Every structure is written in structure tokens, then in C-alpha cells.
Structure 1
Amino acid sequence: MSAETVISLAENGVWTVFFVAGPLLVVALVLGFGVAIFQATTQIQEQTLAFIPKILGVLASLVIFGPWMLSQLVHFTYQILNNLHEFIG
């Protein structure tokens, strides 16, 4: 296995993780920012107020984006397993 192959595999893996985790992280970021602005304007400093909307938003986005995320992971795994003979020999 050459260095270029290892770098290519690592790069594809990092991009796959980035694209799969991206939607969930963006939803959590936007909801966290929105709740923080709401807490700052109303001066309510309850920790569960920040935690519950993020959990519900991430779960909802997991339901929405879950099939796409799974297909991306299956596609990446298929590429790795399909080209396994090139990596070994």
C-alpha cells in the first residue's frame, strides 16, 4: 500500500465523516445559538432550556437526514471493501 493510497483513504474518510456529521452539528449549532439569544434577551439562565431543544432538534434531524447519512456510510464502506484487493496487493 503506497503513501498516496493511505492519504487518499484518509481524505475520503475525513470527508465522509464531515458530510455525515455536518447536518447534525449545524442543527445543534443553530438551535444552541437561538436558545442563547433567547436566554440573553429574557435573562432566563435555566440549563435545561438550552439542553432540551438541542436534543429534540438533533433527534428530529437524525430522523430526517438518517437515511441519507446511512447511504453515505454504506457507499463509503462499499468503496473500501470493493477496492480491498488494491489496498493489500
Structure 2
Amino acid sequence: MTPEIVVDVFSQAFALVIMLTGTIVLPGLIVGLIIAIFQAATSINEQTLTFLPRLLMTLLALSFLGHWMVGNLVEFATSLYLSIPELIG
């Protein structure tokens, strides 16, 4: 196994992690930004006001995109498992 192969596998794994976490984090970030703008406009400084909508958006993102995320993880693991003979040899 050459260092180039290891770097390629790690870069694929890193790209997958970035893509999967981005699909969870970005909707909550957008909702948090909208609520922060609303709070700044109305001078409401309530910390609990931002928590529940962000939590609900994260749960909705997980429920809608969970099947796609697990499919991507299984596809990556399967391709990694099937490429073991060429990685070793």
C-alpha cells in the first residue's frame, strides 16, 4: 500500500464526513441566523429562543436525509471493503 492510496482513501473519507455533517449543520445554522437577525431587530435577548428551532431543524434534517446519509456511508464502506485486495497487493 503506497502513501498515495492512503491519502486518497482518507481524502474520500474526509469529503464524505464534510458532506454528511454539512447536511445536518447547515439547516440549523440558517435557522439560527434568521432567529439572530429577528432577535437583533426586536432587541429580544433570550437564549432559549434559538435552541428549540435549531433543535427541531436538526431533527427534521436527520429524519428527511437520514436514509441518504446511511446509504452514502454503506456505499463508502462497501467500496472500501471491496477494494481491500487492490489496496494490499
TM-score interval, smaller chain: over 0.9
TM-score (norm 2): 0.94
Matched to 2:54, the amino acid is K
TM-score (norm 1): 0.94
Alignment identity in percent?
36
TM superposition shift of 1:22: 1.4
* Residue segments in structure 2 that go unaligned for 5+ positions in a row: none
Runs of 4 or more, structure 1, over 6 Å off, are none
Matched to 1:28, the amino acid is G
TM superposition shift of 1:21: 1.3
* Residue segments in structure 1 that go unaligned for 5+ positions in a row: none
The answer to whether 1:12 aligns with 2:3 is: no
- Report the counterpart of residue 37 of structure 1 in structure 2: 37
Q: Show the 5 A alignment for 1:1-89.
A: 1-89=1-89
Alignment partners' CA distance in 2, 1:45 and 1:86: 58
